[in-house]
Structure 1
């Protein structure tokens, strides 16, 4: 293939960037590539590697926090169901105003599906059990102490999940920014090489790149482009030797 298109996947991109870094280290000084020194390219490459690692760790932390929150929510839901059955025995199956003090203020007396409402209900049930400990069922863990422990665990798990999600989003933005910088720098290196060496030069391969097909649209575009606005400084090229006109005329 004549085109040197950057990979879309991050792992393949890092592999190619590593090859380009090695090429700059080996051939950069000989080719006079001063716009992007090997050390600077290596720093940009390392930044993306670190950002990718940090984002992967943040994603793992987010998944773990979500698992913990799901387990805490399941435990809270199960405890509220048991508490509801206990209140049925205490207040009767028929709805009355006496149900309100237990925390089940709705006539349906169902456990809410919304997490925040479940936590609120658990708090009310715990208050009722704390004021009326005789209604508790210790062998079923339907007590004020057990209920408080369960809903506090849910609150902590949700807070940890929120922190993990926020951190993951931040790490993702940092990773995307580092990837954008590396991609832009890699494209600049490809353009510089296109102006520094011929399409058939085997040093393209040393940079992990394809040799452009001579005469292709891409090759003409690269070699005919003015890099003054795109690069930090002009590329030093060897001066061409001019023929001795006077000697030729005399001959």
Structure 2
């Protein structure tokens, strides 16, 4: 018996839902589908697609925001390194208590290892150079104003990243409710159709569905149209099979192959066959799977 399984992949789910909505538009009223009609399916599909697109937009913006944060942080680290060398010419290169007003943490003159500590240090250096303007070196852009600007830039960039992550989480939560709602809607459509259509009614296929009573085993597809492209090369094209996910392409060289031999696994209803023997009779068979 054929199964009507709702696709797992989201891209396939949306296509599946759209085809089902098209079928409802054609036959829904005629069949008396009232609980899960075309409008209901399209509404759930629109909501799910919108939620997915907004989630992807938020994820894409994360790249931009984290890049901006990395740039601001790199500029801050460069400033801290230069400022440390300037201050060392006044206070000595080793950390002592006289370094405490500078804000360098952990009793060390090393550049802090975390972005939060570097942000805090930029603020402290702004205060330090404001209190000790004679230690500023404008030629190196080591000034209170520069420290304050870099602090603001890094603070803003981190805030934007945090806001972006919050937005991603919010939109993920919405997506995680709209997708199951669409899946339930499609499942309900299938259940309602089962009350209106016989298991072998060909109208199941109008909705992109299998006939529940049909044989679900692979079929031999209609005979392919074969077009010679060049010596030993043939383009094979055949009609889509209703239940096929892919097609096995088999050949048999008369007088050489006792049985058909698989030569391709085609995702679409066409295949380019190469390396065929010239001057021989070759049979081509397509099996839908």
Rounded to whole Å, the distance in 1 between the matches of 2:105 and 2:46 is: 58
Q: What is the CA-CA distance between 1:145 and the residue it aligns to?
A: 0.7
Which one has the bigger helix percentage? 1
Distance 2:194 2:139 in 1: 78
Higher mean C-alpha displacement, 2-11 vs 143-152: 2-11
Residues 140 and 210 (structure 1), Cα distance of their counterparts in 2 relative to 1, 3 Å cut: farther
SS in 2 for 1:196: coil
Aligned pairs (5 A) from 1:34-183: 34-183=34-183
| Cα shift readout 1:189-223 (whole Å, capped 9, x = no counterpart) | 1112222212322222111112224489xxxxxxx
CA shift for structure 1 position 47: 1.0
Q: Any conservation in 2 of the 1:47–1:178 contact (CA below 8 Å)?
A: yes
* Deviation, structure 1 residue 105: 5.0
In the TM superposition, residue 153 of structure 1 has moved relative to its aligned partner by 0.5
Please say which of residues 16-25 and 40-49 is displaced more in the overlay.
Answer: 40-49
Taking structure 1 as reference, are residues 95 and 181 closer, same or farther at Cα in structure 2, changes over 3 Å only? closer
Q: Which moved more, 1:78-87 or 1:150-159?
A: 78-87
Q: Where in structure 1 do 4 or more consecutive aligned residues deviate above 4 Å?
A: none
Which has a greater percent of strand? 2
Q: Distance in 2 between matches of 1:174 and 1:94?
A: 53
| TM-score of the two chains, using structure 2 as the length reference | 0.70
- Distance in 2 (CA, whole Å) between partners of 1:133 and 1:92 is 18
CA distance in 2, matches of 1:94, 1:41: 70
Cα distance change, pair 154–105 in 1 and its aligned pair in 2 (3 A): closer
Deviation at 1:93, TM superposition (A): 2.0
Which runs of 5 or more residues in structure 2 are unaligned? Answer: 217-289
Distance 1:171 1:4 in 2: 30
Tell me if structure 2 keeps the 8 A contact 1:48–1:179: yes
- Superposition map of 1:192-231 within 5 A: 192-214=192-214
1:57 & 1:95 partners in 2: Cα distance?
A: 47
Name the CA distance, whole Å, in 2 between partners of 1:58 and 1:107. Answer: 40
Q: Deviations over 1:28-64 (max 9, x none)?
A: 1111111112112211111112111211111122222
Structure 2 CA distance for aligned equivalents of residues 29 and 105 of structure 1 = 73
CA displacement at 1:92 relative to structure 2: 1.3
Distance apart, 1:94 and its partner CA: 3.4
Greater displacement, 122-131 / 100-109: 100-109
Distance across 1 between alignment mates of 2:92 and 2:40: 76
In structure 2, the partner of 1:231 is none
Name the TM-score, length of structure 1 as normaliser. 0.80
Distance 2:105 2:71 in 1: 26
The DSSP-based 3-state class of the residue aligned with 2:3 is: coil
Task: Identify unmatched segments of 5+ residues in structure 1.
Answer: 217-251
8 Å contact kept, 1:99–1:105: no
The answer to whether the 8 Å contact 1:28/1:38 transfers is yes
RCO greater where, 1 or 2, for CA within 8 Å and sep 6 or more? 1
Instruction: Kindly state the Cα deviation for residue 14 of structure 1 after the two structures are TM-superposed.
Output: 0.3
Q: Distance in 1 between matches of 2:78 and 2:139?
A: 15
